[in-house]
Structure 1
Amino acid sequence: MSSDDSTSGNKAAHTTPSASHAFSTLIPDVILDAVESTGLWSDSRIYPLNSYENRVYQVGIEDASPLIAKFYRPERWSEAQILEEHATLLQLKAAGVAVVAPMEFDGKSLFRHNDIYFCLSPRLVGQHPEADNLEELYQLGELIGQVHLAMQSTPFIERISVSPLAQMDEAVRQILGSKYLPEKLKPIYKKQVSKLREMSEARIHAYWPTQLRPVHGDSHRSNLMLHEGQFHLLDFDDCQNGVAVQDLWLHLTQTENPRQQLSEIIEGYETYLPFETRELDLIDVFKSVRIICYAAWLQNRWHDPAFVKAFPWFGSEDYWLNHLSELQGCEQEWGNISR
């Protein structure tokens, strides 16, 4: 991307970030040194996997199957928060739940190299779920129900607790205070998000659970994998105290009639736990928050060259117009699921 500051056409209204960023020291030799610091020997084969918030690599191991090395973005989670994620995964694995837990070496699962936390886990080969496959949706509901059941007795202490209005407010504050959103669109944007906040607040006021539960927090299709006939839930990086429907609604892909999909997911979920149907009214809230927070996430990570390469369209006037259109769509579709 060029450093053109023009806001016309499709050009982004910002400059290319510098090479200095959280993972600038994470070169191949450093990755191999980190892996081998656990006592393993690498065959020097490294393959980067699709991850932007963190850095994830498949690393070859001598006389063994390749492993996955995950390097956590510095200053995002504390050591205690990451260890709580690991403890949860190890607990789920011990309970027979289909997750991928970090490997332990001398009783440790989290390591630090060059001031970056990392962990290793087994490689899982498989396929992501099909978007509209009702049988698979039932199976996903079963897995999420099993995960929630196994986690329900130990609420998170170190991880965050979901707070939709606070998350929305902070994301909007960052977006409106930035240089990326064109000035001429800021009044329109402010009016649109204010409307969605008002609608979200009304929904939350009508119903919010008296007690939050531990949830995955980001269980979209890419974080699920069908391996040897069984779905596995991956990447608990955003695990938190939240609401059950947070882990279900992301699998709804039919905007006109999502009820059939929802029915399959909930039926599978209730194999393990009862589902509070009043939570369905919160889907519109979580959808609005996710769309707004996604834009803020791109903006906040724009100093990372990986984001410039992966999302070259961010920051253009067209991007913000499409973002506004998504938010308007949320308002227009409000209530479709809960009707």
Structure 2
Amino acid sequence: MSDTWDGQITAALTAYGRAGALSGARLLSLSENATYLCTFTDTPEPLVLRLHRPGFRTLPQIRSELMWTERLRADGAVATPAVVPTSAGEAAASFPGAGGVLQHAALFEFAPGTEPDTTDFARVMEIVGRETAALHEHASRWQRPDGFTRPEWDLDHLIGAASLWGRWRDNPDVRPDGVEVLARAEEKLTRELDAYGQGPAEFGLIHGDLRAANLLVASDAVRLIDFDDCGNGWFLYDLACSLSFVEHDPRAAHWVAAWLRGYEARRPLREEDVRAVPALVMLRRLMLVAWVHKRGDTPFAASLRPAFAAQSVEVARHYLADGYLTAVRHDH
């Protein structure tokens, strides 16, 4: 898979006038996109190239994402790497990719730092919560420019017919008895989130994938990266994203409490917001059941199978019994 992506690096960097000086490119991550650390012969400063999966994001969507990250930087809301424009002054590049398919790319300045040490995951979650609150504060105030367009992260686009990753039912790892459990969990979370609503207090512009893997820590500085999933969703769906892939861990309630503690240090929450957390985490987990199947060609998704489906069914059982993350609600 990465060989297909590797062949696009030179074409992408040509749009930035950097192809001739390229000395190396190391794959950093492969999921919805392929991200590379690129080094050059004419400067000691590397750059980070993101090649977009063809057909996954439109050029206006990518430009809108980069509008927001640049505004976040300009307003000092959160720290995030600067966008490097193309030679033509555009925020993103488009070029013919493999087989002539239109390919998009974005280039970023390199940001120093490492992914936070998750051995003390509660501390990491508190940091993530604090940074997410700053992000949401900005999103709630920012007047979006004309033409701004990002995905909708409502039920239909996360786990329904409009989902980019298909339906959780498409995952063959879900056994027949598990299908019934997950279906009941979907019905319950749908009722709860319909009651919670999508007003401006609950729903707005979010990061959409704010996990530890999308933080860079250097000394006391924290930078947020990879806004490719930003869109309009429930603000506390960002909490659910922070718990991705570990929702089944017995320590999940402890980690969620830490996230909420960090968040509320900067932005208040209402009781109904906290009550919605189990439904939002269950929603994210169902989306990930579909994602693990859809992106089974990537090493990370493949490493999660087949246990992920069975673990998801156990999360759903606890959720259906009103026993999932209840300690968080009671302690709040």
The answer to whether the 8 Å contact 1:36/1:42 transfers is: no
How has the CA–CA distance of structure 1 residues 338 and 129 changed in structure 2, closer, same or farther, with 3 Å as cutoff?
same
Question: Is 1:202 equivalent to 2:191 in the alignment?
Answer: yes
How has the CA–CA distance of structure 1 residues 201 and 37 changed in structure 2, closer, same or farther, with 3 Å as cutoff?
closer
How has the CA–CA distance of structure 1 residues 69 and 321 changed in structure 2, closer, same or farther, with 3 Å as cutoff?
same
How has the CA–CA distance of structure 1 residues 25 and 334 changed in structure 2, closer, same or farther, with 3 Å as cutoff?
closer
Aligned counterpart for 1:289 among listed residues 267, 273, 283: 283
Number of matched residues? 305
Provide TM-score, normalisation by structure 2.
0.79
Aligned counterpart for 1:98 among listed residues 79, 82, 89: 79
**Deviations 1:245-296 (Å, cap 9, x if unpaired)?**
22234556833545751452133332xxx33342112221221122221121
The answer to whether the 8 Å contact 2:49/2:105 transfers is: yes
Amino acid at match of 1:121: F
After TM superposition, give the deviation of residue 140 of structure 1 in Å: 3.5
Comparing 133-142 with 191-200, which one deviates more in the overlay?
Answer: 133-142
The answer to whether the 8 Å contact 2:198/2:234 transfers is: yes
Distance 1:285 1:218 in 2: 17
After TM superposition, give the deviation of residue 220 of structure 1 in Å: 0.9
How has the CA–CA distance of structure 1 residues 195 and 155 changed in structure 2, closer, same or farther, with 3 Å as cutoff?
farther
Q: Which residue of 2 aligns with 1:176?
A: 169
Q: Secondary structure of the equivalent of 2:32?
A: coil
How has the CA–CA distance of structure 1 residues 244 and 48 changed in structure 2, closer, same or farther, with 3 Å as cutoff?
same
Mark the structure with the bigger radius of gyration: 1
Q: Secondary structure of the equivalent of 2:90?
A: coil
Aligned counterpart for 2:261 among listed residues 258, 261, 264: 264
Distance 1:141 1:314 in 2: 25
Distance 2:182 2:151 in 1: 24
Q: Which residue of 2 aligns with 1:275?
A: 269
Amino acid at match of 1:54: N
Larger RCO of the pair (alpha carbons < 8 Å, separation 6+): 1
Distance 2:112 2:10 in 1: 22
Amino acid at match of 1:99: T
How large is the Cα RMSD of the aligned pairs? 3.0
**Could you tell me the percent identity over the aligned residues?**
19
Comparing 221-230 with 194-203, which one deviates more in the overlay?
Answer: 194-203
The answer to whether the 8 Å contact 1:109/1:119 transfers is: yes
Aligned counterpart for 1:213 among listed residues 201, 204, 207: 204
Aligned counterpart for 2:314 among listed residues 325, 334, 338: 325
Q: Which residue of 2 aligns with 1:255?
A: 252
Distance 1:166 1:148 in 2: 21
Distance 2:303 2:139 in 1: 39
Q: Which residue of 2 aligns with 1:36?
A: 14
Distance 1:196 1:257 in 2: 22
Amino acid at match of 1:282: A
The answer to whether the 8 Å contact 1:248/1:265 transfers is: no
After TM superposition, give the deviation of residue 175 of structure 1 in Å: 4.1
The answer to whether the 8 Å contact 1:46/1:60 transfers is: yes
The answer to whether the 8 Å contact 1:287/1:330 transfers is: no
After TM superposition, give the deviation of residue 145 of structure 1 in Å: 2.4
**Deviations 1:149-193 (Å, cap 9, x if unpaired)?**
222223595212221366334479734356x347xx22x133112
1:49-198 aligned within 5 A: 49-64=28-43, 65-96=45-76, 97-105=78-86, 106-113=88-95, 114=97, 115-131=102-118, 132=120, 137-152=125-140, 153-154=142-143, 157-164=148-155, 167-170=158-161, 174-177=167-170, 180-181=172-173, 185-186=175-176, 188-198=177-187
Q: Which residue of 2 aligns with 1:14?
A: none
Amino acid at match of 2:91: S
How has the CA–CA distance of structure 1 residues 33 and 91 changed in structure 2, closer, same or farther, with 3 Å as cutoff?
same
The answer to whether the 8 Å contact 2:315/2:324 transfers is: no
Question: Is 1:338 equivalent to 2:329 in the alignment?
Answer: yes
How has the CA–CA distance of structure 1 residues 255 and 137 changed in structure 2, closer, same or farther, with 3 Å as cutoff?
closer
After TM superposition, give the deviation of residue 76 of structure 1 in Å: 0.7
After TM superposition, give the deviation of residue 34 of structure 1 in Å: 2.1
Q: Secondary structure of the equivalent of 2:82?
A: coil
Structure 2 unmatched runs, 5+ = none
